[in-house]
């Protein structure tokens, strides 16, 4: 079976690349190593930093997302050979981010990898830039997808890499290809940095404008302290007639989204008669999973459906929903959700409406609510514009990679 796969992949490459390019097994030109299977009990607050798949972000390592370390003593005694080096390419080998790569920079070190992370180093027959481009291409990912079988989620390792092939042009051509693609990488990184700055600015504004610490010009009236139940009521209508309505799921960052789109498969049954209806301009949250701020606002469909385990509610006319939705996503409110779910009894039942409605909020006048919401609408518009530009750059690079890495588009090396 393995031989058939090798022949299949090799034949696919020969049908696309120039005749003077070599096709080599990845293990012949690349050193790769899989991380160890560290356990949660081994992690400490200080010591050697440990990366996992969540740290791989748009071609670089985002170490702000890790607080995992192991003691220096344990590292020296057991795991020193898993330490990554400058310019190593690290890749996620499982989960939703599998095949996502990043380059190890000097500011990232010292560092070691964890399970589900593989590091790569090219030998003298391959340039670093070319290898980075190839590993980040759909060409490589297609091979991995072909080689892995079974499992609830993608998962690959050295056994699959040893069956993978890489087209290998002359070194000068490799370098030129890498140089061209690096220009796109720079544009992508610049745009991603802009998005990060806009999101950071938005987070700061949320802490100031949504708490009353900073006021917009012209507003001096005090904010009123009240319970959520003073401005909102629960909605419990169900899909009794079993209508064909879009089933939604609530996510931490994107709010309510189509369940099929989010999970990539159907996770609900055929009988939807007990599912709750979420009309347009209503809120919903997963009663048992609100502690991270997973609340959604339904403003796309006339009606949507959510699991019976969700809570649905509607605000009254004193509330601007755009303002209120953002208020419910602040760190202060998330802390309130977590605090009210911390008891064993509450945890079993989640944050039900009878508790949720008692949570205290501070609300300005309706006019000020609208003004604050408008500020965030403009920030969100900037983020959306930059995100669309980023997506466009990524698609353009993807198309260029397909041409350059197969030789369909040739480069001049003179």
| Distance from the first to the final alpha carbon of the chain | 43
pLDDT tens digit sequence for 36-86: 988 888 888 889 999 888 888 767 788 876 678 999 999 999 999 999 999
Show the beta-strand stretches assigned E in 260-390. 276-279, 282-286, 295-298, 303-306, 310-315, 360-363
d(CA 64, CA 35): 20
Residue 115 confidence (pLDDT)? 86
In the chain, what are the helix, strand and coil shares in percent, each to the nearest 5?
A: 40, 20, 35
The number of CA neighbours under 13 Å toward the Cβ of 256 is: 29
Residue 114 phi, psi dihedral angles, 5° rounding? -110, -175
Residue 263 confidence (pLDDT)? 74
Residue 349 confidence (pLDDT)? 56
**Which residues in the chain land under pLDDT 50?**
1-2, 4, 344-347
Residue 148 confidence (pLDDT)? 82
Sole residue written with tokens 């160890």: 36
Q: The pTM is what?
A: 0.75
d(CA 131, CA 142): 16
d(CA 104, CA 119): 10
Residue 58 confidence (pLDDT)? 65
Residue 343 confidence (pLDDT)? 52
- Examine residue 191 and say whether the peptide bond preceding it is cis (omega within 30 degrees of 0): no
Contact 394, 58 (CB under 8 A): no
Residue 342 confidence (pLDDT)? 56
Residue 43 confidence (pLDDT)? 86
Residue 347 confidence (pLDDT)? 46
């Amino acid at each position: 079976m393995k031989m058939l796969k090798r022949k299949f992949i090799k034949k696919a490459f020969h049908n696309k690349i120039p005749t003077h390019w070599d096709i080599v097994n990845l293990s012949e030109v690349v050193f790769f190593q899989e991380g160890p299977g560290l356990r949660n009990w081994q992690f400490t607050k200080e010591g050697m930093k440990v990366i996992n798949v969540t740290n791989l972000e748009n071609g670089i390592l985002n170490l702000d997302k890790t607080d995992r370390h192991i003691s220096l003593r344990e590292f020296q005694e057991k795991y020193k050979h898993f330490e990554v080096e400058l310019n190593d390419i690290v890749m996620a080998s499982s989960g939703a981010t599998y095949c996502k790569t990043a380059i190890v920079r000097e500011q990232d070190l010292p560092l070691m990898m964890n399970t589900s992370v593989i590091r790569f180093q090219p030998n003298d027959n391959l340039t670093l830039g070319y290898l980075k481009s190839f590993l980040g291409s759909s060409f490589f990912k297609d091979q991995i997808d072909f080689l892995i079988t079974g499992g609830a989620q993608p998962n690959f390792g050295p056994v699959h890499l040893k069956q993978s092939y890489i087209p290998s042009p002359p070194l000068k051509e490799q370098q030129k290809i890498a140089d061209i693609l690096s220009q796109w990488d720079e544009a992508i990184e610049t745009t991603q940095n802009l998005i990060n700055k806009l999101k950071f600015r938005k987070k700061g504004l949320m802490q100031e404008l949504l708490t009353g610490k900073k006021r917009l010009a012209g507003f001096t009236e005090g904010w009123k302290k009240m319970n959520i139940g003073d401005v909102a009521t629960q909605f419990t209508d169900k899909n009794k007639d079993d209508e064909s309505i879009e089933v939604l799921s609530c996510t931490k960052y994107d709010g309510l989204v189509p369940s099929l789109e989010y999970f990539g498969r159907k996770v609900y049954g055929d009988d939807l008669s007990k599912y709750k209806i979420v009309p347009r301009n209503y809120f919903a949250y997963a009663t048992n999973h609100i502690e991270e701020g997973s609340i959604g606002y339904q403003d796309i469909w006339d009606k949507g459906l959510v699991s019976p385990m969700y809570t649905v509610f509607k605000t009254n006319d004193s509330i601007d929903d755009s303002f209120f939705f953002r208020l419910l996503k602040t760190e202060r409110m998330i802390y309130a959700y977590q605090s009210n779910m911390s008891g064993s009894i509450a945890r079993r039942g989640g944050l039900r409406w009878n508790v949720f409605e008692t949570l205290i909020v501070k609300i300005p006048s309706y006019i000020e609510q609208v003004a604050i919401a408008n500020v965030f609408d403009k920030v969100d518009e900037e983020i959306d514009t930059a995100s669309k530009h980023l997506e466009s750059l990524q698609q353009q690079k993807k198309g260029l990679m397909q041409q350059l890495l197969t030789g369909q588009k040739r480069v001049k090396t003179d």
